[in-house]
Amino acid sequence: MNLRNQIATLMRYELRDELRGGEVGFVVLPFGVVALLTIPMAIGIDTPLLQRIGPGIYWSIILLFGVLVTQRHSSLAPPATRDMLRLAGADPVARFAATTLATFLLLLAFEVGAGFATMALYDPALDSWWWLAALLPLTAAGLSMIGTIAGNIASGLEARTSLVPLIVVPIAVPLLLGAAQATEGLRVGAGILRWLLLLAIVDTVLAVAGVLTARSLEESAA
Amino acid sequence: MKARPLDIAAVGTLATAFVAGLVVPPDAVQGDLQRIMYVHVPSAWLAYLSFTVTLVASVAYLRWRSLRWDRIAGAAAEVGVVFTGLALATGMIWGKPVWGVWWTWDARLVLTAVMFFVYLGYLALRRSFDDPELRAHRSAVLGVVAVLQIPIVHFSVTWWRGLHQPPTVLRPDNPQIDAPLLFALLMSVAAFTVVFAALVKRRSEITAKEDEALRFQEAGATAGSDITAPTIGGGSS
C-alpha cells in the first residue's frame, strides 16, 4: 500500500471512530459553547465590550478546548493498536499525516461550530469575513500538528492527560496570537496578510518537524 | 566534589562582574535602579542561549543517538528555566518603580513567560520517564519543536508596539549605551555565560550518575551482592 493509501485508510479509521462516538460534536463543542456563555457572566453584560473582545475569547476557547480534540487520538491508539500498525508495516509518516488530517477536520468543524455560537452570542462586527476561510484552516492545521506531535511524545505515559495540554498550549501561543491579531485586523479593517503569513510559516515548520521526527517517535514507542 | 578550572573561572568572572556592576557610575535617568540590568539582561541572554543549546543537543541526539547529548539538552533546559525565571523576576522588580506596575501585557513579557512554561513542560516530560533512552528520544523531539518560540519571542518587540524597550546594545546602528555601563553589562554577560557552562557540565554529570545508578538498580545489584559466604573444605554452600 502506498503512502497516500495508508494516510487515507488511517484517516478514515480515526474519523469513523469520531462518527461513532461523537466526542467532538457532542462533548467538546457544547463544552466550548458553555464556556462562551459563562465568560460574559464573569465580565459583566457590557454589550459593546463583549462585541469587541468576542473574537479574542473565541480564539482562547479554540486553543484551550482544541487541546481536547487533539488529545483524543492518543486514547484512540493504545500500545496494542500501535504495535499492530507497526507490524502491518504502516509508515510512521503516514500515521502522523493521517492523525493530523483527521484532527484538522475535527478542529475545523469545532472552529465553525464555536464560530457560529460566538456570532450569535457576541455579535462581533467583522469586515471582510471571507478571510476566515483562510484563517480557520491555517489555525486548525497548526493546532492539529502540535497536538499530534505532543500526543506521540506523551503516548504511553500515565501523566499523558495533564502533560499534553501543558505541552500544547504554550507552544500553540503563536497560533493564538496570529489568529487573534488577524481577526482584530478584520474588525478594524486593517490588512491581515502578514498574520496569515505568520500562521503559514508556523504550520510549515511544524509540518517539517512532524515528518522528520515521526520515525524517531515510532522507534521510541512504549 | 573537587573544584575544576571551569568552576573556578565561573566564580572568578562572576566576582569581577559583580564588582564592575557596583563601581560603574549610575544611570543618568534611572540612577542605581538601572544596576538590576546587570542581572536581568544576562539572565535573558542565558534563556536564549540555554534553549538554543537544548535545540542543538536535541538535534545532535536524534542524529547520533548518544545519551551524552540528551543530558546536555536536559541540563541546558533546566538552567534555562531558572534563568528565564530570574529574568522575569528581575524585570518585574525593575518594572514596578519604573513603569509603575509589576506586570504589563507587553508582547515580549508575555511571550517570555510562555517560553518559561514551554520549557517547564519539557522538564515535566523528562521527569515522566524512567528509561533514559525513551526520555532522550521523546524529549529530543519536543526540544526541537519548542524552539519555535524563540524567534517569535525575540522579534515580538518589532512586530507588536509594546512597552518593553527595543534592543539597546544589539542595534543595527551604534549601541545606545555609555561605554562604562556597556563594559559592566558585557562583563556580566560573559560571567553568566561561564556560569552557564559550569552548571550545564555539572548537571550533565549528575544525570549521567543518576542513569548509571538506575541501570545498576535495574540489574538487581545490591551492595555486597558480589561477596559470597565463606565455605569449609572448598565445597559450595
Task: Tell me the per-residue pLDDT of A98-139, one tens digit each, with 9 for 90 and over.
Answer: 999 999 999 999 999 999 999 999 999 877 888 999 999 999
- The pLDDT of A83-112, averaged and rounded, is 90
Give chain A positions within 8 Å (CB) of B142. 149-150, 153, 167
Number of helices (H) and strands (E), helices first, in chain B?
A: 7, 0
Q: Which residues, other chains included, contact B87 with Cβ-Cβ below 8 Å and sequence gap of 6+?
A: B40, B43, B44, B46, B47, B112
Spacing of C-alpha A104 from chain mean position: 6
- Closest approach of A38 to chain B, Cα-based (Å): 24
- Closest approach of A19 to chain B, Cα-based (Å): 31
Cβ-contact B41, B86 below 8 angstroms: no
Domain assignment present for B82:
yes
Report the pLDDT value the prediction gives residue B236, as an integer from 0 to 100. Answer: 46
Report the pLDDT value the prediction gives residue B160, as an integer from 0 to 100. Answer: 65
Task: Give A55's pLDDT tier (boundaries 50, 70, 90).
Answer: very high
Domain assignment present for B210:
yes
**Sole residue written with cell 560573559:** B190
Range of the domain at B17: 5-22+34-162+179-215
User: What is the rounded CA–CA span in Å between residue A85 and residue A56?
Assistant: 40
Give the DSSP letter of residue A88. Answer: T
Domain assignment present for B222:
no
User: What is the rounded CA–CA span in Å between residue B155 and residue B49?
Assistant: 16
Q: Across the interface, do B62 and A216 touch by the CB < 8 Å criterion?
A: yes
Domain assignment present for B113:
yes
Cβ-contact B89, B146 below 8 angstroms: no
Cβ-contact B141, A213 below 8 angstroms: yes
From A155, A201, A161, A159, select the one nearest A177 (Cα to Cα). A201
- Any chain A CB within 8 A of the CB of B10? no
Count up the domains in chain B and report the number: 1
Q: What is the pLDDT of residues B141-188, one digit of tens each?
A: 999 888 866 677 666 656 665 556 666 655 545 556 777 788 888 988
Give chain A positions within 8 Å (CB) of B134. 220, 222
CA gyration radius, chain A: 18
Name the interface residues of A facing B (CB cutoff 8 Å): 146, 149-150, 152-154, 157-159, 163, 166-167, 169-171, 173-174, 202, 205-206, 209, 213, 216-217, 219-220, 222
Q: Which residues, other chains included, contact B132 with Cβ-Cβ below 8 Å and sequence gap of 6+?
A: B67, B70, B211, B214
Report the pLDDT value the prediction gives residue B225, as an integer from 0 to 100. Answer: 64
Give chain B positions within 8 Å (CB) of A167. 118, 121-122, 125, 142
Task: Give A196's pLDDT tier (boundaries 50, 70, 90).
Answer: very high
Report the pLDDT value the prediction gives residue B237, as an integer from 0 to 100. Answer: 42
Domain assignment present for B237:
no
Higher pLDDT, B6 or B96: B96
Q: Which residues, other chains included, contact A202 with Cβ-Cβ below 8 Å and sequence gap of 6+?
A: A142, A174, A175, A178, B148
- Closest approach of A160 to chain B, Cα-based (Å): 9
B117, B134, B137: residue with CB nearest A170 = B117
Bridge partners, residue B31, by sequence: B27
Show me where the domains of chain A are located.
3-219
What value does the mean pLDDT of chain B take? Answer: 83
ipTM of the complex: 0.84
The conformational region for residue A131 under phi > 0 = left, psi -120 to 50 = alpha, else beta, is alpha
Domain assignment present for B188:
yes
Q: Across the interface, do B148 and A154 touch by the CB < 8 Å criterion?
A: no
